[in-house]
Amino acid sequence: MADLTLHNIGELTTNDGQKTADGCVVVADGQVVFAGSAADAPSQDGNQVDCRGNTVLPGFVDAHTHLVFAGDRSDEFRRRLEGESYSEIAAAGGGILATVEATRACDADELFELSSSRVKRMITAGTTTLEIKSGYGLDLETELRILKVAKRLGEEMPVTVKTTFLGAHSVPPEFKGDSDAYVDAVIEMLPVVSEFADYCDVFVEHGVFEVPQARTVFEAAAEFGLGARVHAEQLSHLGGAALAAELGAASADHLDHATAEDARALADAGVVAVLVPGASFTLGSPQAPGPMLLEAGCEVALATDCNPGTSYFEAMSPIIALAVVQMGLTVDQAVRAATLGGAVSLGLDGHGTLKPGAPADLMILDAPSAAHIPYRPGTDLVAEVYKAGQRVA
């Protein structure tokens, strides 16, 4: 007995074999029972939704966000675009440490309220699974507060949340000039924060954390059961991707400056390449080599990188548009990366697909094909969103 049947689907993307026209999805107990050609559907009872020739695809899996934060950096954004340098802005109290200051000053309920408004818009825009990083606390108390808020978002809102401890996001003022001491402090946070985190992440970049420091953090985190996600090769080529491959990380993220050698290493090690074209767009820097990473055999994921400094995107549709128009992914590659790719990076079996047994996380687009997402980049086409078979937007 089905609870829900979506019929008259014009283009059905299941990430489980071919696309189907005249598609049908049958849901029972929050899971997909059947997704395919209507002619083959076993039963079509329950609540009936006529998709009127529109598109159905899995809910978006946004595998890289920093969405739990306080403060407003729009003025800094404005000043940067009007020619002020990042170092001038940082010297005037701007940059990531401005967000750290605002987030430290914000209690858990305020932080939840700010963050849940972002997550609500994300769900409305089709996201059903989210990764959320800490990293705007940089001390034990605030990192813990951020991770708890992130977990609470997943408990109280209709979205699956995986959390990542990013204590090594930046060196806080208290440790200015002594990143080794701060690395030690990060490692000391692990016994406590690991209770609320699924992964650990380090921003591997010149002037932030070097590869040996990152290796130390990841090895310590592994002892507490945390998988690795690596901010790698964003602003320069430093070796974060090779480290991710060496460690068998869950993901290497950004990768704007990844080489063909990095791509092969990531593919061989089964590390998902999580690409964030919104950051490159905002910064006016070149897009990551998505086609090259796919060519090398990497699983690619797309993510918003939602953060108040360099990529304040919430919806995944514009990210798909950027990936297609600016990065050179095909529509099919981008849609897979925005759904299944993210789920693979988060170890969520079945998520990002509509195969039998998968959670019935899906959306109906007000368009005859998913190609309309990048074809109509400024228009929100997400008409209905379902989480575990329940309509949530």
- Rounded Cα distance between 388 and 270, Å, is 28
Contact partners, residue 73, CB within 8 Å, separation at least 6: 94, 98, 99, 308, 309
| Candidates 166-174, 246-254, 263-271, 322-330; binding stretch for a second copy (CB under 8 A) | 322-330
Q: With respect to a second copy, which residue has the nearer C-beta, 164 or 304?
A: 304
- Rounded Cα distance between 13 and 21, Å, is 9
On whether the CB atoms of residues 47 and 4 are closer than 8 A, the answer is yes
Task: Name the helix (H) or strand (E) containing 252.
Answer: strand 251-254
- Rounded Cα distance between 60 and 343, Å, is 9
- Rounded Cα distance between 374 and 306, Å, is 19
Q: How far is the CB of 88 from a second copy (least distance, A)?
A: 17
Q: How far is the CB of 376 from a second copy (least distance, A)?
A: 4
User: Going residue by residue from 103 to 142, which x/- string records binding to a second copy, judged by CB under 8 A?
Assistant: ------------------x---x-----------------
Q: With respect to a second copy, which residue has the nearer C-beta, 78 or 391?
A: 78
On whether the CB atoms of residues 296 and 263 are closer than 8 A, the answer is yes
Q: Does 275 bind a second copy (CB under 8 A)?
A: no
Q: What is the DSSP letter of 338?
A: I
User: Going residue by residue from 232 to 271, which x/- string records binding to a second copy, judged by CB under 8 A?
Assistant: ----------------------------------------
CA quadruple 66, 70, 75, 79: dihedral sign: negative
HSE on the CB side for 221, CA within 13 Å?
A: 30
Task: Using the structure block, give the residue that is written with the tokens 């690795």.
Answer: 228
| Amino acid letter for position 93 | G
Checking DSSP bridges between strand 199-203 and strand 362-365, what pairing results, if any? unpaired
| Candidates 44-52, 87-95, 225-233, 320-328; binding stretch for a second copy (CB under 8 A) | 320-328
Q: Does 81 bind a second copy (CB under 8 A)?
A: yes
| Candidates 128-136, 167-175, 193-201, 280-288; binding stretch for a second copy (CB under 8 A) | 280-288
End-to-end CA, the chain: 24
Q: Does 285 bind a second copy (CB under 8 A)?
A: no
CA 148, chain centre distance (Å):
18
* Residue of 8, 77, 102, 264 interacting with a second copy (CB under 8 A): 77
Q: How far is the CB of 313 from a second copy (least distance, A)?
A: 4
User: Going residue by residue from 348 to 367, which x/- string records binding to a second copy, judged by CB under 8 A?
Assistant: -------------------x
| Candidates 171-179, 182-190, 200-208, 311-319; binding stretch for a second copy (CB under 8 A) | 311-319
Q: Does 324 bind a second copy (CB under 8 A)?
A: yes
* Residue of 6, 303, 315, 363 interacting with a second copy (CB under 8 A): 315
Give the C-alpha distances (Å, rounded to integers) separating 322 from 184, 259, 375.
38, 21, 11
| Candidates 61-69, 277-285, 341-349, 357-365; binding stretch for a second copy (CB under 8 A) | 277-285
Question: Cβ atoms within 10 A of the Cβ of 219, count?
Answer: 13
Q: Does 313 bind a second copy (CB under 8 A)?
A: yes
Q: With respect to a second copy, which residue has the nearer C-beta, 42 or 284?
A: 284
- Rounded Cα distance between 214 and 240, Å, is 8
* Residue of 318, 350, 359, 389 interacting with a second copy (CB under 8 A): 318
Task: Using the structure block, give the residue that is written with the tokens 């919806």.
Answer: 315
Write out the residues near a second copy by the rule CB under 8 A: 72-75, 77-78, 81-82, 121, 125, 278, 281-282, 284, 304, 312-315, 317-319, 324-326, 328, 330-331, 367-369, 371-372, 374-380
